[in-house]
């Protein structure tokens, strides 16, 4: 039997299928990685927004992580919605306990519809305990502003934020995503030594629900396959660009992206 790369996502469930655990699993599958899950919260969600959040008890989250790691294992792990400080502390402890090194942290804070997915007091905990064990952190610009306490309105300021996340908070690398900036969406990777700009084309569409989840899951899939960080984020950028470009038109609000598009591209 040939080697099957495996990735674990620790994140929230999106009943609408576009973000969270569902986006992560679809992305892993399309990139030939076997996906496993530890669900942190169940959101009642569709393309119009989030109308309920049910947190999974800590023992349940710990149990899922242990069940996966002690049997199946994971070549990479990613985190999404962690919602509460105690969940972040637990995940950081489990990362150390299981010796997880390829950890992608997507610091999910607010859903596209505006619902808060991370408690206010959790933001400092995230910075203090999870960033130091991350191989890659993938904030969008508003998340990078919260993490660094800086306003970001230019490419230069995105670079400063990416460097701060690595040099001050201890992550191995950070990519600050430019989807919320004006003009072409450029993402900035800092790996502790060099900057890499991931250039993109902006598509005018409202179907961008789950773009951050999908990007970070694709990066985790690349790391699970043993790709270099640079290769993994380049593939992630291509994957999300195709997924936004070939919109599905599902739902009445911010619809999901197209997880088939990258492998079906011409």
Ligand X SMILES: Cc1ncc(COP(=O)(O)O)c(N)n1
Residue tagged 């950081």 (tokens): 92
**How many residues can be counted in the chain?**
266
Structure tokens at 255: 């619809």
CA 166 to centroid of chain Cα atoms:
17
Per CB under 6 A, which of residues 133..172 are in contact with ligand ADP? 140
What are the residues whose beta carbons fall under 8 Å from the beta carbon of 22, sequence distance 6 or more? 13, 14, 16, 210
The single residue of 37, 78, 213, 214 carrying the catalytic annotation is: 213
Select from 18, 20, 178, 255 the one that contacts ligand ADP (CB under 6 A): 178
Structure tokens at 80: 């999404």
Question: How far from each other are the two terminal CA atoms of the chain, in whole angstroms?
Answer: 30
Among ligand ADP, ligand X, none, the one that 185 touches (CB under a kind-dependent 5 to 8 A) is ligand ADP
Catalytic site residue 213? yes
Count Cβ atoms below 10 Å from residue 29 Cβ, excluding itself: 14
Q: Closest approach of Cβ 49 to ligand X, in Å?
A: 9
Question: Of 82, 64, 73, nearest to 137 (Cα)?
Answer: 82
Catalytic site residue 177? yes
Task: Tell whether residue 80 is a contact of ligand ADP (CB under 6 A).
Answer: no
Task: Tell whether residue 244 is a contact of ligand ADP (CB under 6 A).
Answer: yes
Per CB under 6 A, which of residues 191..230 are in contact with ligand ADP? 200, 202-203, 208, 211-212, 215
Q: Which residue is nearest to ligand X (CB)?
A: 20
Cβ-based nearer residue to ligand ADP, 64 or 138 = 138
- In the complex, the residues that contact ligand ADP under the rule CB under 6 A are 140, 177-180, 185, 187, 200, 202-203, 208, 211-212, 215, 237, 240-241, 244
């Amino acid at each position: 039997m040939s080697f099957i790369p495996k990735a674990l996502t620790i994140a929230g469930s999106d009943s609408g299928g576009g973000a969270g655990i569902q986006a992560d699993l679809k992305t892993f599958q399309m990139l030939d990685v076997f996906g496993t899950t530890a669900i942190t919260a169940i959101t009642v969600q569709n393309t119009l927004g989030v109308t309920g959040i049910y947190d999974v008890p800590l023992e349940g989250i710990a149990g899922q992580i242990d069940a996966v790691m002690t049997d199946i294992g994971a070549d990479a792990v990613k985190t999404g919605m962690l919602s509460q400080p105690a969940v972040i502390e637990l995940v950081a402890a489990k990362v150390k306990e299981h010796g997880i090194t390829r950890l992608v942290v997507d610091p999910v804070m607010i859903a596209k519809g505006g619902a808060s997915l991370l408690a206010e007091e959790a933001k400092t905990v995230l910075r203090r305990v999870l960033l130091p064990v991350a191989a890659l952190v993938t904030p969008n610009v508003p998340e990078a502003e919260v993490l660094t306490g800086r306003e970001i309105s230019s490419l230069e300021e995105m670079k400063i934020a990416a460097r701060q996340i690595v040099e001050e908070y201890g992550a191995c690398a950070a990519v600050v995503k430019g989807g919320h900036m004006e003009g072409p969406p450029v993402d900035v990777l800092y790996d502790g030594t060099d900057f890499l700009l991931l250039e993109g084309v902006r598509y005018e569409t409202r179907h961008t629900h789950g773009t951050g989840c999908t990007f970070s899951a694709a990066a985790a899939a690349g790391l699970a396959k043993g790709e270099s960080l640079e290769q993994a984020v380049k593939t992630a950028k291509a994957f999300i660009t195709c997924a936004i470009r070939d919109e599905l038109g599902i739902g009445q609000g911010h619809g999901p992206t197209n997880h088939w598009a990258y492998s079906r591209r011409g």
